[in-house]
A and B are shown apart, each in its own frame.
Chain A
Amino acid sequence: MRFFFAAQMAWQGVVINPLRSGLTVLGVAIGVASVVSLMGIGEGARLAVVRQFESLGSNVIVIKAHDAKAEFMPEEAEELLERVSGLKYASPVVRTNAVMRWRRARGQVEIIGVSSDFPELRDHRLVSGRFFTKWHVEQRSPVAVLGYNIGAGLLGGRSPVGQTLTLNGQTYRIVGVLEKKGPGQAESIDDKVVIPYTTALKIAGKKTVDELWVKAESAKAADLAIAHLGRIYRRKLGFDVTAPKPGGGEQQQMPGKEGAEKPVETLPAPQPEDHRKEEKPALELGKDIITITNLNTLVEEADKANRVMTLLLGGIAAVSLLVGGLGIMNIMLVAVTERTGEIGVRRALGAKRFDLLLQFLMEAFYLSGMGAATGTALGIWGVNLFNRYGFNAVISAEAVRVAVFVALGCGLLFGVYPAWTAASVPPVEALRR
């Protein structure tokens, strides 16, 4: 009963000065809207990066040689499958270019040479035909699987499987077309031609490869495999593997000549578990001969960086939310001063301190509540607006929840002091004004 009346009277307080209430509500709304939309942008960016990394395939480890002398024999990929437990698929990788001819058209295309494990390894599916087989690889067959864009371009959407094209003058049979991954996804595979690595080595005129891919059964297996692979390649490059080193780190570097002269020093001393993750990929060191990278880790790191960014944006927006909350406090304090007479009358007529506390608190609550509601609507509208201008913002339920919660919290928090002030004015004092 009491609450109901307080709520009613608080509402009268809101509507009696629509302009002022409106501006206060707007202040809160802007705060909520900026939290919702800025966090939306941050979250959208994070999801985009995560999606991009995920398109690379899960639990994939990339072993890369940065020095011609350290390059791998293609057979090593198969050997790793046997030596390292927890690995399921493996492929050497040959990257090269070729002139492609299709009927009368010709042009440069990027070629990627891989084993028949490729679709499983990098999580690819085919829209038509099938992938080349182990047999094709062994036979160095002139067969090609086309990236989606290339495959779709040839016959205007009809499947080109069974047709032939030429690469550097040699005729290849098209056996399959990969499913679309999207622009920039999965190393832009949509615009590449995939052929057996044996055939690709012929085109490139090489015997060794500078890149190996392996896929582990699980994220945990990938972590263990990284450690094992680290030991294998350390030994291969002639390091003392028994020397202390960062165990199953996500990424391991084998220092080159300069480092080799004092191998133990160049390897970081053992560190506590949680510090290991802080290790920076040492690609920029230039001295590294071989890097072993767990793509899962890249996803995690990108994710972490973007989370920080989202929080940062949210933090900036939270400031405006706080300002909105202070606006409520300001307006309520003004109301208390301005309406001292009203407070006095109510007290004279029998209102208790608690009644006034409740009334003014509810008034603040209404203002913040309306602010939160309009702000959420405004934020959703803002996200859509951003997206029209090329952002990938998303409406995150979490952001809305946080913003609304903070807005209502601010309303109550900043409403308490003015409400308490209102309730504390002695009736005689109040009536004198």
Chain B
Amino acid sequence: MELLELRGISKEYRSGRGTVKALSDINLSVKRGEFVSIMGPSGSGKSTLLNVIGCLDRPSTGEYFLDGMKVDRVSDDKLSEIRNRYIGFVFQNFHLLQGLDALGNVELPLIYRGIGSAERKRRAKEALEAVGLSDRIHHRPSELSGGEQQRVAIARALVQEPLLVLADEPTGSLDSRTGRAIMELFQKLNTERGITVVMVTHDRDMARYGRRIVRLLDGRIKEEEFIG
């Protein structure tokens, strides 16, 4: 069962000096429960690909099916709903809201799903527990270490009970030991909860936590490698 299916996806950016082709003719399928790493040099289109997969951006051409739905041409509001229901995001620089404590940050996706306060808090606490932060619930991002902040971000993705977690260089701002701990967490989510993970990284060691490595170059898929 394919969770993601990209057919002939390309993405162009128009700027003053002309058009930049960030992605060209991408064909990619990801099955439910897979853990895929995307690698490639800087500017090769990794983030652009992840944004298209995450319904944050629309492809210029091509078709994109997410869990059987054709989502490359749906409305803005519908995309918001899809992100909220299906997709959890983890970013390199965490992207937590500074004004909210850990619990508040983890609650956010559920707010936009319209879930009541008590239920939200219960689920947010559960998610924080799952990433080992039960004792940091009321800390603000500025009071947490980088690793802890990334765990909060992962809890925020978890709380959505997503089909898919997308991570753009999740260990890029962390030292290698903390990075490995985060990767183990991803692996655990993948194996224990069956959550599909698509992760961008340019660190070979981190990429090897995945079962498949997709290499990009100049907006094209150069090669795919399966890890046994």
Residues of chain A whose beta carbon lies under 8 Å from any beta carbon of chain B: 1-2, 5, 9, 12-13, 15-16, 341-342, 344-355, 426-428, 431
Q: Which residues in A have their C-beta under 8 angstroms from that of B114?
A: 1-2
A427-B56, A428-B51, A428-B57 as given contacts; A350 in contact with B113, CB under 8 Å = yes
* Contacts known (A1-B114, A349-B83); A12 close to B99, Cβ less than 8 A: yes
Q: Could you list some 13 contacts between A and B, CB below 8 A?
A: A16-B99, A347-B56, A349-B108, A349-B109, A349-B112, A349-B156, A349-B160, A350-B80, A350-B81, A350-B84, A352-B81, A428-B51, A428-B57
Bound together, the chains give a CA A347 to CA B109 distance in angstroms of 10
Give the complex CA separation of A341 and B112 in angstroms.
Answer: 17
Q: Which chain B residue lies CB-closest to A8?
A: B111
Docked-complex contact B57 and A349, CB < 8 angstroms:
no
Instruction: Determine the residue in chain B with the shortest Cβ distance to A17.
Output: B99
Q: Give A295 Cβ to nearest chain B Cβ, in Å.
A: 65
A341-B77 CB under 8 A given contacts A12-B100, A348-B54: no
* A residues less than 8 Å from B54 (CB atoms): 348
A-B contacts besides A347-B80, A350-B113, 12 pairs, CB < 8 Å: A2-B114, A16-B99, A341-B95, A349-B84, A349-B89, A349-B108, A350-B80, A351-B80, A352-B80, A352-B81, A353-B80, A355-B112
* A15 / chain B contacts, CB cutoff of 8 Å: 99
Q: Is the CB of B91 closer than 8 A to any CB of chain A? A: yes
- Check if A353 sits within 8 Å of B76, measured CB to CB: yes
Give 10 nearest A-B pairs by CB, closest first: A350-B84, A16-B99, A350-B112, A349-B109, A352-B80, A427-B56, A428-B57, A345-B95, A352-B77, A428-B56
Are B56 and A348 in contact (CB-based, < 8 A)?
yes
- Provided the pairs A342-B97, A428-B56, A431-B95 are in contact, do residues A353 and B77 lie with their beta carbons within 8 angstroms? yes
**Chain B residues positioned under 8 Å from A342 (CB to CB):** 97
- Considering only CB atoms, which chain B residue lies closest to A15 in the complex? B99
CA distance A149 to B61 in the complex (A): 97
Q: How far is the CA of A5 from the CA of B97 in the complex (A)?
A: 16
Q: Return the CB mask of B50-94 against A: 1 if under 8 Å, else 0.
A: 010010110000000000000000001100110111000101000
The answer to whether A348 and B89 have CB atoms under 8 Å apart is yes
| Chain A-chain B contacts (Cβ-Cβ < 8 Å), number | 65
* Complex: chain A residue closest to B82, CB-CB: A350
Residue of B nearest to A355 (CB): B112
**A346-B108 contact in complex given A2-B114, A353-B76, A428-B56, C-beta closer than 8 Å:** yes
Contact check, A350 vs B109: say whether CB atoms are below 8 A apart: yes
- Docked CA distance A355–B76 (Å): 13
Contact A348 B77 (CB under 8 A): no
Please report the C-alpha to C-alpha distance between residue A2 and residue B77 in the assembled complex, in whole angstroms: 14
* Chain B residues closer than 8 Å to A5, beta-carbon distance: 111-112
Whether A351 contacts B112 in the complex (CB less than 8 A), given A12-B100, A341-B95, A345-B97, comes out as yes
Collect the chain B residues with CB atoms within 8 Å of residue A352's CB. Answer: 76-77, 80-81, 112
Question: Closest CB of chain B to A203's CB: distance in Å?
Answer: 86
Query: Complex: how many Å from CA A342 to CA B89?
Result: 14
Residues of B within 8 A of A351 (CB): 80, 112
Query: Per-position contact with A for B25-68: 1 when CB-CB < 8 Å, else 0?
Result: 00000000000000000000000000100101100000000000
A156 to B: closest C-beta gap in Å: 72
Q: Which residue of the partner chain B has the closest CB to A342?
A: B97
Q: Could you say which residues of chain B place their CB within 8 Å of the CB of A347?
A: 56, 80, 83
Looking at A16, A347, A352, A426, which has the most chain B CB atoms within 10 Å of its CB? Answer: A352
**Which of A341, A355, A431 has the most B CB atoms < 10 Å from its CB?**
A431
Complexed CA–CA distance, A269 and B195 (Å): 95
Determine the chain B residues whose CB is within 8 A of the CB of A349 once the complex forms. Answer: 83-84, 89, 108-109, 112, 156, 160
Q: Mark B144-188, 1 if CB is under 8 A from A, else 0.
A: 000000000000100010000000000000000000000000000
How does the 8 Å CB contact mask read for B109-130 relative to A, with 1 for contact and 0 for none?
Answer: 1011110000000000000000
Which chain B residues lie closer than 8 Å to A431 at the CB level?
56, 91, 95
Query: Which residues of A lie under 8 Å from residue B95 when comparing CB positions?
Result: 341, 344-345, 348, 431
Contact partners of B160 in chain A: CB under 8 A: 349
Residues of chain A within 8 A of B97, CB atoms compared: 342, 345
Most chain A C-beta atoms within 10 Å of own C-beta, residue among B56, B98, B111, B113: B111
Chain B residues whose C-beta falls within 8 Å of the C-beta of A13 in the assembled complex = 99
How far is A335 from B195 in the complex, measured between Cα atoms in Å?
36
In the bound assembly, the distance between CA atoms of A426 and B54 in angstroms comes to 13
Query: In chain A, what residue has the closest Cβ to B54?
Result: A348
CA gap between A428 and B56 in the complex, in Å: 6
Residue of B nearest to A423 (CB): B76
Q: How far is B108's CA from A5's CA once the two chains are assembled, in angstroms? A: 10
Q: How far is the CB of A350 from chain B (nearest CB, A)?
A: 3
CB-CB under 8 A from B156, the residues of chain A are: 349
Distance of A13 Cα from B104 Cα, bound (Å) = 13
Smallest Cβ distance from A177 to chain B, in angstroms?
A: 73
When chains A and B are docked, how far (Å) is the Cα of A136 from the Cα of B204?
A: 122
Give chain A nearest CB distance to B48 CB in angstroms: 9
Contact of A348 among B81, B83, B85, B99 (CB under 8 A): B83
Within the assembled complex, what's the spacing in Å between the Cα atoms of A346 and B96? 10
Q: How far is the CB of A347 from chain B (nearest CB, A)?
A: 7
Inter-chain CA distance A353–B80, complex, in Å, is: 9
A1 and chain B: residue at smallest CB distance: B114
Q: How far is the CB of B156 from chain A (nearest CB, A)?
A: 7
**Interface-centre pick from A5, A16, A341, A348 (highest chain B CB count, 10 A):** A348
A13 to B51, CA, bound (A): 27
Q: How far is the CA of A342 from the CA of B96 in the complex (A)?
A: 8
> What's the nearest-Cβ distance from chain A to residue B200, in Å?
13
Q: What distance in Å separates the Cβ of B142 from its nearest Cβ neighbour in chain A?
A: 12
Please state if B113 and A426 are interface contacts (CB–CB under 8 Å): no
Give Cα distance in the complex from A13 to B99, angstroms: 8
In the complex, what residues of B have CB within 8 A of residue A341's CB? 95
